[in-house]
Amino acid sequence: MAKVLGKGLAALIRNHDSNQHDNNVQIKNIVSNPNQPRQEFDEQDMLSLVKSISEKGIIQPLAVRQINNNQFELISGERRLRAATTLGLKAVPVHIINVKDDSDSMELALIENIQRIDLNAMEEAEAYAVLIKKHNRTQLEIANKVSKSRSEIANKIRLLKLPKIIQDSIKKKKIDYGHARALVSIKKPSKILKLYNAIIEKKLSVRQTELLIKSLNKNKTINTIPLKNYIKQISWLKKYLNTNVKIIDAKKNKIIIEFANDKELDTIINKIINE
């Protein structure tokens, strides 16, 4: 299949043998594509589409492939088919396309969905995963098909490692793709969920999330374990200053004395000076 992203469904059709004239096919004879990338359908968008079709009809034919004498599998047009079913239409206009196999059909469906209304990041990730696992496509081959970089394909696939609750939130647009990319960088599921909850509760932006994770990762690189030879001294110092004290064992000979406010700092300084 040629690289055709951005040229519209007409270009997709031209790159395959097809019946160029419109064919009216009974809705009962059309089956959904089992590998349909789009899984989430915005309710308001669907209502608008139903209204448009009721007033003007289906302007852009659906794309299908024939799977037996009187049955067709949908390649593109899932939203239009659902709207037509809602309106009680008996038949819809289609382009019948001859595709090589299931893989080719799925690629067409994926590209068409990306062109029309962006799939959410999880739907893309799941579609790419099917192409790789079921149809033996490489990330580079997929990237060339959908006109995206290989790194973008890899980043989307990494989202499949996130906990299901976060994957569902991406699908339902509770968090953005940028949030998800930041969360993927964290290895422990418990920490991922903790940060995810913070994003939801505090309504953190993508930038705020990235800075928070960067800060946490930076703190992790500091070894705050006290030197064994000074455990007793550190314990005494904590009690004397009435605050937390740490020796940084990073070959920089640093000691950290924590305080909550200016008043506590003044108290600590006075104790040190008096001693």
How confident is the model over 54-100, as pLDDT tens digits? Answer: 888 888 888 888 888 888 888 878 888 889 999 999 999 988 887 76
**Whole-angstrom distance, CA of residue 35 vs CA of residue 254:** 58
The strand pairing partners of 30, in sequence order, are 72
Q: Of the candidates 77, 100, 117, which is a domain's last residue?
A: 117
Q: How far apart are CA 73 and CA 93, in angstroms?
A: 14
- Would residue 152 count as lying in a domain? no
In a domain, 72, yes or no: yes
Q: Which of 77, 102, 117 is the last residue of a domain?
A: 117
Q: Is residue 213 part of a domain?
A: yes
In angstroms, the first-to-last Cα distance of the chain is 80
The kind and range of the H/E element at 66 are strand 62-68
Same domain, 198 and 237: no
Could you tell me if 187 and 253 lie in one domain?
Answer: no
How does pLDDT run across 23-55, given as a tens digit for each residue? 788 999 998 877 666 666 777 778 888 998 888
Q: Are residues 202 and 237 in the same domain?
A: no
Here the tokens at position 176 are 């953005």
Higher pLDDT, residue 195 or 4: 195
Measured at the alpha carbon of residue 208, what is the angle toward residues 203 and 209, in degrees to the nearest 5? 80
Residue 215: give the domain boundaries: 175-220
Is residue 155 in some structural domain?
no
Same domain, 201 and 235: no
CA distances from 89 to 46, 74, 85 (A): 16, 16, 6
Q: In a 3-state reduction of DSSP, which class is residue 104? A: helix
Q: Half-sphere exposure (CA, 13 Å, Cβ side) for 103?
A: 15
Are residue 18 and residue 108 in the same domain, yes or no? yes
Domain tally, the chain: 3
58: its two tokens: 């289906």
Q: Would you say residue 139 lies in a domain?
A: no
Residue 35 lies in a domain: yes
Q: What is the pLDDT, as a whole number, of residue 7? A: 40
- Residue 17 is part of a domain; what is its CATH number? 3.90.1530.10
Q: Report the greatest alpha carbon distance in the chain.
A: 97
- The answer on 243 and 213 residing in a single domain is no
CB 105 within 8 A of CB 33: yes
201 and 267 together in one domain: no
pLDDT at 8 (0 to 100)? 42
Residue of 17 and 100 predicted with greater confidence:
100
**What global pTM score does this model have?**
0.54
Q: Which of 117, 134, 152 is the last residue of a domain?
A: 117
So what's the pLDDT on residue 268? Answer: 83
Query: Same domain for 206 and 243?
Result: no
Quick check: is 212 in a domain?
Answer: yes
For all residues of the chain together, what is the average pLDDT? Answer: 78
Q: What is the pLDDT of residues 173-204, one digit of tens each?
A: 899 999 999 999 888 888 899 999 999 998 99
Residues 104, 81 share a domain:
yes
Query: Is there a domain that residue 167 lies in?
Result: no
19 and 84 together in one domain: yes
Same domain flag for 104 and 48: yes
Q: Are residues 42 and 84 in the same domain?
A: yes
- The DSSP line for 121-153 is HHHHHHHHHHHHHTT---HHHHHHHHT--HHHH
Classify residue 221 by its DSSP letter: T
Give the confidence band of 20 by pLDDT, cuts at 50, 70, 90.
very low
